[in-house]
Structure 1
């Protein structure tokens, strides 16, 4: 273990996994409580359009993915607020558009061959300092948002109508939440990839909800559980030479099914 931690890329990978877990613990809990998993999935896949845009115009992938994801997230929020009945079709269309747009732009990028798999399934072992700084900033933003607006997020999550009567601007906080989802997705891309990011945002919060009485507790437990999944998944990927993102999600999924089965047996 000491030899493993002496490797710089493994230090960055462990730190990146913990930082991403904090973001996913906060936003993922809100996603699960508000039942917005499908919207989060749509944003995560549509973010690939931003990566394609970045490579086509020669800018940083993180910048392209961030701007494009936030734009599509706000678009999703605007449309779904007006049409709740067909939001699944709308999200599905934006999901498909983002993926197709990104792939086409990468195909059109002259003289550049992008490793599609690293963005779809993650490459936490290749995480760099810029990504660590970005995720750290995202964590700081999320923590400040929760410290300042915790009551408002609780109100809109558990009873949006009551929150509106109490003077909480539910529409504004809906936009803010969707934008936070976009930032969380971009920060998590390198760890588990666009395809698997939704798992890291939903599985730990689902497990944490069982042991939590408050939303704040759920966020903390979710971040801890997610960190454990990332660390165990990294160790397994290093030992057996398998894809790190898939290894992390496999650990999370196995634990998820164990919890589900335990709950079912306990209820019987």
Structure 2
């Protein structure tokens, strides 16, 4: 009898953990692939701004009673389009992001204030609530991730060229402006999907930190991308597993593992520079 009970408990745990691990693995893959390009293009602040608009869309969805994932996706795509279209010059980028971020965050706070449901849902938008990932959310995540990966594969070569040297890419006929908008949308989708895992305030731990760690230890774009994927997966899946025993928020462990990897890579690169 006890063996059957133990088996039932094990199956329940697996059913509980499986959607989390699948969601985490997909988001780690997206973050690892997009991260090096984000770092190269100096878009860390843009990612933060997009995450705040994803929070606004999610808060609006929570208020009107539709899927939070769809609201976050709509909010982040709108933010990405606005940032891509309004940031015509590099000198304008930070001010445009700041203006859109402040407006979006204000709307998000208003939507949460009007929402009369559970407080846990409000905090989940800010700090993540991966335990709430259901079958519908998981399918949205899978379909969106596949779409991002397909588009990224199609535009990667010209996008990387434009990211490294936009002036030369423009002279060679590369549609730099169009690629910037498309990439901003891809980042927006990835950010929206990440909000449910680590929350709007901690998206940078998935989209930026692994890539920043990878670029500290290698100058090769290919190696940096592979390392960023590995670092992101270790951060996400490791953080999830570590959070199970104490039952604490996943985001705290994901960000801690990610930052620890960054510190190790930074110390390693520092030692190499001193030896040279």
Deviation of 1:43 (Å): 0.7
Match of 1:32 among 39, 53, 58: 39
Judge conservation of contact 2:24–2:237 (CA < 8 Å) in 1.
yes
Residues 1:180 and 2:191 aligned together: no
Task: Tell me, in whole angstroms, the C-alpha distance in 2 between the residues paired with 1:247 and 1:141.
Answer: 28
Q: Report the TM-score when normalising by structure 1.
A: 0.91
Residues 1:80 and 2:87 aligned together: yes
The equivalences for 1:198-237 within 5 A come to: 198-210=204-216, 212=218, 214-237=220-243
**Greater radius of gyration (CA):** 2
Task: Tell me, in whole angstroms, the C-alpha distance in 2 between the residues paired with 1:214 and 1:153.
Answer: 16
Corresponding residue pairs, total: 265
Q: Report the TM-score when normalising by structure 2.
A: 0.88
Judge conservation of contact 2:210–2:261 (CA < 8 Å) in 1.
no
Judge conservation of contact 2:56–2:107 (CA < 8 Å) in 1.
yes
Residues 1:43 and 2:42 aligned together: no
The equivalences for 1:1-268 within 5 A come to: 3=10, 6-81=13-88, 83-109=89-115, 111-114=116-119, 115-210=121-216, 212=218, 214-268=220-274
Deviation of 1:5 (Å): 8.9
Judge conservation of contact 1:237–1:247 (CA < 8 Å) in 2.
yes
Deviation of 1:116 (Å): 1.9
Judge conservation of contact 2:216–2:266 (CA < 8 Å) in 1.
no
Deviation of 1:130 (Å): 2.0
Judge conservation of contact 1:9–1:126 (CA < 8 Å) in 2.
no
Please say which of residues 63-72 and 15-24 is displaced more in the overlay.
63-72
Instruction: Specify every segment of 5 or more residues in structure 1 that has no aligned partner in the other structure, as ranges.
Output: none
Please say which of residues 206-215 and 117-126 is displaced more in the overlay.
206-215
Deviations 1:58-110, CA, capped at 9 Å, x for gaps: 322222221222112111111211x432322221221122121012123224x
Deviations 1:163-214, CA, capped at 9 Å, x for gaps: 1122111000000011111100111111111111112111111222345554
Task: Tell me, in whole angstroms, the C-alpha distance in 2 between the residues paired with 1:214 and 1:21.
Answer: 20
Task: Tell me, in whole angstroms, the C-alpha distance in 2 between the residues paired with 1:145 and 1:195.
Answer: 27
Instruction: Specify every segment of 5 or more residues in structure 2 that has no aligned partner in the other structure, as ranges.
Output: 1-6
Please say which of residues 156-165 and 50-59 is displaced more in the overlay.
50-59
Judge conservation of contact 1:236–1:247 (CA < 8 Å) in 2.
yes
Task: Tell me, in whole angstroms, the C-alpha distance in 1 between the residues paired with 2:34 and 2:53.
Answer: 18
User: Who is 2:4 aligned against?
Assistant: none
Task: Tell me, in whole angstroms, the C-alpha distance in 1 between the residues paired with 2:40 and 2:11.
Answer: 37
Name the CA shift for 1:130/1:215 in 2 (closer, same or farther; >3 Å): farther
Deviation of 1:227 (Å): 0.9
Please say which of residues 44-53 and 15-24 is displaced more in the overlay.
44-53
Give 4+ residue runs of structure 1 displaced > 6 Å after superposition.
none
Judge conservation of contact 1:131–1:187 (CA < 8 Å) in 2.
no
